[in-house]
Every structure is written in structure tokens, then in C-alpha cells.
Amino acid sequence: MAKKKFSLRRLKSIKLKVFVLLLVFSIVPMVVLRYGILRTFENKEVERRMIELNSQSKLMSTQIASSGYIEDPTKEVINAELLQLSNIYDGRIMIVDHSYTIIKDTYQMDEGKIITSTEVVTSFQGEVNSHYDRKFEYIEMTMPIINPDGQEIIGVFIISVSSESILNEESFYAAQADLITIIVAIVGFCLALFFSQVLVHPLTKLRHQLNERKNGLKDEELHVKESFETEVLCEEINGLFKNMKALDESRQEFVSNVSHELKTPITSMKVLADSLLSQEDTPAELYREFMQDIAEEIDRESKIISDLLSLVKMDKQNATLQIEKISINELLEVIMKRIKPIAEKAEVDLVLESFRPVTAEVDEVKLSLAISNLVENAVKYNKEGGFVKVTLNADHQYFYIDVEDNGMGIPEESLDHVFERFYRVDKSHSREIGGTGLGLAITKSSIVMHKGAIKVASELGRGTTFSVRIPLNYIA
Ligand code: ADP
């Protein structure tokens, strides 16, 4: 069974197809040519023979008519001539008189018999008939014998001759043509074998290079420049490998970042717990303070884990959105209400400005998470007495949310990185205020899932604005 499958797969090979195609294209024209040329030769020869017979027969008919042979078929001279003519052409001549009686047959078989074939009848009406029978290999011709004054048809001249000589000559040429066809077929076979090998060679080379890469023998880029197609294919595959490599690197980096981030609170907890354990008679106050620190580290660990879970959920290729048509104004009001106490605590003024009522098709939970992160950041990275202004606007296609603050701002060199996982401009400050470096990554994933876009503009020390644009109608 396995063997059968293997051979069937082989039948689909391009090499085999090219080989068969080349072979067919070299042999078929040859066979067609052979058949065509031989047929033309035969037709021409038959035509030539008919013209010859026609003129000879005409001459003979005139002689028969003028000699009065129809009335007296014993005339020696004419009979001798008829015999001679039939011998030359290896054929048979019959003369029919006006009563359809055969008065002369050079084969002497049918003399005295009546003949009423169509050819004879039409010849009595003045027609000259000629006919070639390929199967029985003969040419037959009937023509009227007209009396010398040209008025009356007094008899019919029938001549049938063998076409064997033509066919013999044709078979001689056919044998020659067969020999040439065989030679062409052998040459065609060799050329087809050679060219199918040459044409498929770039693909074979590509397969070898891919195999070497797969088995880890080589890590170079693929290069098969023998054909345009394989060159382009190599470029595509190299691009794919590059993407895969980048993906693998970012995955490795992510895993090491995650491990590091998760380890930091645990290390702190271990240090705190160890120092408590190493002291005897620890005062209750110190105990309480250390335990509070440990509780904070636990909160931090749990925040990192929940952020990671949110991110993983967004990252899943087939993550599904629960799309509903909701009021974006209401969604923003709920977010503002939730963050208001934090803003008040940080002495930051929080304002929402909606230019128009906006309803859109979004996943409420995921979009709410995205915008909350932006507003929370705007509060977190602000200063006492600062402000955060959230504006909502829309056109016929998109709605726009801007989150503007006049806080600490982001240095220019960091602007391209803020959406990366675990990226923080100031690690220790972010850690102090409970950042994980995952917030903006989560926000971006959520917005991209909504087929939207986000951009950031910032000036260090002056403030930051995040601008979000999302289609009003969800595009699946
Ligand atoms: P974090 O959990 O640290 O806040 P984010 O991914 O939300 O992580 O943000 C990444 C980094 O971008 C932050 O650490 C901070 O340095 C910077 N950042 C984000 N938002 C603002 C903002 N509104 N103003 C200034 N810096 C910001």
C-alpha cells in the first residue's frame, strides 16, 4: 500500500510532466508529418495516374469510334491495341455497346453480359467517371465512346487498373519515414530526459538546501539563482525564515522577561521573610511593617499575572471579540468614574469632553481595558495639580479617543518602544507606582483586534497625548 502511494506521488512530478510533454512534442509532429506526407504522395500519384489513363482512354475511345469497332468487335488492330494498353497498366478494359452488352473484355470473362452500373449509365449520358478504391487497390474509369461526328454516344469504354505499384512505392517511403520517426523518437527521448532534468534542477537544488537547513547542517540564506521562479521563491522563504527567527527571538525574550518580572517580587518576599526569621524577638511593629511589604509584593505579583493573562488572551490568534453595539460616551463615563478617586488622590484633574454621542460595534470589556490603561497611565505619570483630558469625537467611519495629560512626558527615544511588552521608561519609578510594563502592550493588542490604530505624541516635561482611532462598524 505504501509502495503504491509512493508511485502515485511520483506521477505528479513536474519532471515527469516536462519529460512526457517534450517527448510528445517531438514524436507527435513526426507521426503527423509521416501520415500527411504519405497521404499526399498517394493522392498525387493516383491523380497523375488518372490523368494518364484519361488521355490514353480518350485516344482509344476515338480510335474505337472511328474504326466502327462497336459494330464489329473482331477488328484485330483495335483488339491488339486494347490488349497492349491493358498490359501496360496491368489492368482490364471492357467495351460496352449501346444495348449495355459487354462486347469486349480483355480478361474474356464477361463478354456478352449486360452491365448497368451507375458509372456506365452516367457515361451513356456523357459523363467521364473515375474512381479510386484504396481497399482493393485499383483505379477505375468509364467514359463515353462518341461517334466521329460528335453527336451520338455509341458505347462506353471501361478501364480498371491496379494501384499496387503506387502503394508499393508508398510502403517504401513509409518504411523510410518509420526509420526517421524511430531516430527522432530516440533523440527526442534523450532530449526530453536531459531537459526535464535541467528544468527541474533548480527545484531539486532548492529542496537540498531546505533539507540542509532542516537538518541543521547549514544556517545560510537559500540561494538558487538558476531560474527566476526559484530566485523569487528563495526570497519568499528567506523572508519567512527571518520572520520565524524574529518571532522565536521575541518569544524567548518574552519568556525571560516574564520569568524575571515574576521572580522580582518573590526575591523581595524571600529577603523580607529571611530577615524576619534571622532576628529573634522581632518587635511587633517591625513584624507588621515587613508583613505589609510582603503583602504589597504579593499584590504586585498578582497584578503581573493578571496583566499577563489579559495579554495572552489578546494574543491568541483566534481570540474572539464579543462585539456589541454600545454607547462609547457611556463607556468612557464609567471608566472616568472608576479612576476619579485615584486621580483625586494624586491631585490630578480628570475631564471628559464628548463632541457628539457615539455608538459603535466593539467588545466592551476589551476596549474598556485598553482605554482604562491609557487614562490610568495619564494619572500615574502625572504631577500634582496636573490634568488629564479625555476627548471623544467621530466621523462617518471612525470614532476617535484622545487621552491628553500635562504630566512628565516620554523621552523621544522611548516613543517607539512604549508599546513593547515590559518596556518602561524609568523602571524603578514605574515599579514604585505599581507598573508592570504590560499596560500599553495590552492596549495596543485590543485596539488592533478592533482593526483600529493608536499613536503617541509626547514632549518630555510637558505631557503626552495618546490618540486612538477605531472603526464605528466592526470589520470581521
Ligand atoms: P506600566 O505598567 O509601567 O505603566 P505601560 O505599558 O502602561 O507600563 O507603559 C509603559 C511605559 O510608558 C511606562 O512605564 C511609562 O514609562 C511610559 N508611559 C506610559 N504612559 C505614559 C504617560 N501618559 N506619560 C508618561 N509616560 C508614560
| pLDDT at residue 26, as a whole number | 85
Q: Are 140 and 123 in contact, with CB atoms under 8 Å apart?
A: no
CA of residue 472 to ligand 1 center, whole Å:
27
| pLDDT at residue 194, as a whole number | 92
CA distance 476 to 450: 9
| Domain limits, the chain | 15-169, 228-312, 320-471
Q: Which residue's C-alpha comes closest to atom 7 of ligand 1?
A: 439
CA distance 184 to 24: 11
CA distance 387 to 441: 24
Q: Which residue's C-alpha comes closest to atom 14 of ligand 1?
A: 424
The second-level CATH assignment, the architecture, of 320-471 is: 2-Layer Sandwich (3.30)
CA distance 244 to 240: 6
DSSP secondary structure letters along 118-181 = HHHHHHHTT--EEEEETTTTEEEEEEEEE-TTSS-EEEEEEEEEE-HHHHHHHHHHHHHHHHHH
Which of helix, strand or coil describes residue 25? helix
CA of residue 448 to ligand 1 center, whole Å:
19
| pLDDT at residue 318, as a whole number | 57
Please state the atom number of ligand 1 nearest to the C-alpha of residue 435.
Answer: 2
| pLDDT at residue 261, as a whole number | 84
Q: Is 370 exposed, middle or buried (0-12, 13-18, 19+ CB in 10 A)?
A: buried
CA of residue 424 to ligand 1 center, whole Å:
6
What Rg value do the Cα atoms of the chain yield, rounded? 52
146 phi and psi angles, rounded to 5 deg: -105, 135
| pLDDT at residue 338, as a whole number | 94
Residues with CB under 6 A from ligand 1: 373, 377-378, 381, 405, 407-410, 418, 423-426, 430, 435-441, 464
Which among 424, 460, 466 is the best mutation to test ligand 1's pocket, defined by most ligand atoms within 8 Å of the CB?
424
Q: Which residue's C-alpha comes closest to atom 4 of ligand 1?
A: 435
Q: Which residue's C-alpha comes closest to atom 19 of ligand 1?
A: 377
Which among 440, 444, 459, 466 is the best mutation to test ligand 1's pocket, defined by most ligand atoms within 8 Å of the CB?
440
Tens digit of pLDDT at every position of the chain (476 positions): 445 556 678 788 888 888 899 889 888 998 999 899 999 999 999 999 999 999 999 999 999 999 999 999 999 999 999 999 999 988 999 999 999 999 999 999 999 999 999 999 999 999 999 999 989 999 999 999 998 887 899 999 999 999 988 889 889 999 999 999 899 889 989 998 999 899 899 999 999 999 998 888 777 888 898 889 999 999 999 999 999 998 889 889 888 888 988 998 899 999 999 998 898 888 889 889 999 999 999 998 998 999 888 888 887 655 788 999 999 999 999 999 999 999 999 999 999 999 999 999 999 999 999 999 999 999 999 999 999 999 999 999 999 999 999 999 999 999 999 999 889 888 777 777 777 889 999 999 999 999 999 999 999 999 999 999 999 999 87
Q: Which residue's C-alpha comes closest to atom 23 of ligand 1?
A: 378
| pLDDT at residue 127, as a whole number | 93
Q: Which residue's C-alpha comes closest to atom 12 of ligand 1?
A: 418
Closest CA to 422 of 269, 264, 267: 264
In angstroms, the Cα distances linking 77 to 80, 94, 163, 317 are 5, 16, 27, 109
CA of residue 381 to ligand 1 center, whole Å:
7
Side-chain-side CA neighbours of residue 287 (13 Å): 7
Q: Which residue's C-alpha comes closest to atom 16 of ligand 1?
A: 425
CA of residue 261 to ligand 1 center, whole Å:
16
CA distance 329 to 349: 19
CA distance 140 to 93: 10
Which of helix, strand or coil describes residue 387? strand
CA of residue 272 to ligand 1 center, whole Å:
28
Residue appearing with cell numbers 518580572: 261
| pLDDT at residue 317, as a whole number | 58
Q: Which residue's C-alpha comes closest to atom 8 of ligand 1?
A: 437
Which among 305, 377, 383, 430 is the best mutation to test ligand 1's pocket, defined by most ligand atoms within 8 Å of the CB?
377
CA of residue 423 to ligand 1 center, whole Å:
8
CA of residue 382 to ligand 1 center, whole Å:
11
CA of residue 439 to ligand 1 center, whole Å:
8
CA of residue 463 to ligand 1 center, whole Å:
12
Please state the atom number of ligand 1 nearest to the C-alpha of residue 438.
Answer: 6
Please state the atom number of ligand 1 nearest to the C-alpha of residue 463.
Answer: 24
As a three-state string, the secondary structure of 253-278 is HHHHHHHHHHHHHHHHHHHHHHHHHH
> Is the CATH code 3.30.450.20 the one for domain 15-169?
yes
Query: pTM of this prediction?
Result: 0.59
Q: Are 209 and 226 in contact, with CB atoms under 8 Å apart?
A: no
Q: What is the CATH number of domain 228-312?
A: 1.10.287.130
CA of residue 437 to ligand 1 center, whole Å:
7
CA distance 112 to 102: 5
CA of residue 12 to ligand 1 center, whole Å:
57
CA of residue 377 to ligand 1 center, whole Å:
6
Please state the atom number of ligand 1 nearest to the C-alpha of residue 425.
Answer: 16
**CA of residue 155 relative to chain centroid, distance:** 76
